[in-house]
A and B are shown apart, each in its own frame.
Chain A
């Protein structure tokens, strides 16, 4: 199973934008678009924020956006708010019908 690499932590001030990267290889993220992003505040279940690279489920603010370039997928949060502080995970659905998660990124709102 492939590994997806995320930065351990990112931070930003309220109102700013932050981007969290998720790096794979040409065989996974570089080829497939089944990339999702999850938000997980402490002690809660993960919440889907982005699916299929750039689609937002209903109810997710448009401050959250997803993109992909080459072997790297990205989650951008604009107009950062205190409530955005959480752990964020990317995932990829593979050609072997398995799901791989990134190691997670802790977002701190300063």
Chain B
């Protein structure tokens, strides 16, 4: 079954860290790039980061640059998002998504909720 499953969300205090995981199955993981996209409660979609299949092309939104790190483990077919120095405004559902063709996301997971609150 072709799918992405996110995990690792939870409630943390401002300034703390969290690592999200995205487990892929049912397709050839190594040939795809992956994005993280987030959606704050009641708000629209916001792109976070992308990591392409070659592992060297990595790009971030300005809002997370220097705090978040995207990575992948090909043998485990898993993408990660390491989130440091979390802020209240990082509160959102985080979706992992597969890149079909430079920014078109043809497969998404169900998302994992990150709540940053004191």
- Determine whether the beta carbon of B45 is less than 8 Å from that of A45: no
Does A34 make an interface contact (CB < 8 A)? yes
A34 to B62, CA, bound (A): 20
B56 to chain A, nearest CB (A): 12
- With A1-B62, A99-B50 in contact, do A51 and B104 touch (Cβ < 8 Å)? yes
Residue of B nearest to A45 (CB): B108
State whether B47 touches A100 (Cβ < 8 A). Answer: yes
Does B106 count as interface, using CB distance less than 8 angstroms? Answer: yes
Given contacts A101-B46, A104-B44, contact A1 B61 (CB under 8 A): yes
Within the assembled complex, what's the spacing in Å between the Cα atoms of A38 and B37? 13
Cβ-neighbour of B47 out of A48, A99, A104 (below 8 A): A99
A97 touching B47 in the complex, CB below 8 Å, given contacts A34-B104, A36-B105, A48-B104: no
The 8 Å CB contact of B105, one of A46, A52, A100, A104, is A46
- Contacts A38-B45, A45-B109, A103-B44 aside, 7 further interface pairs with beta carbons under 8 A come to A34-B101, A36-B103, A45-B95, A45-B108, A46-B105, A89-B44, A99-B50
Show the binding face of A for B, using Cβ within 8 Å. Answer: 1, 34, 36, 38, 40, 44-48, 51-52, 57, 87, 89, 91-93, 96-104
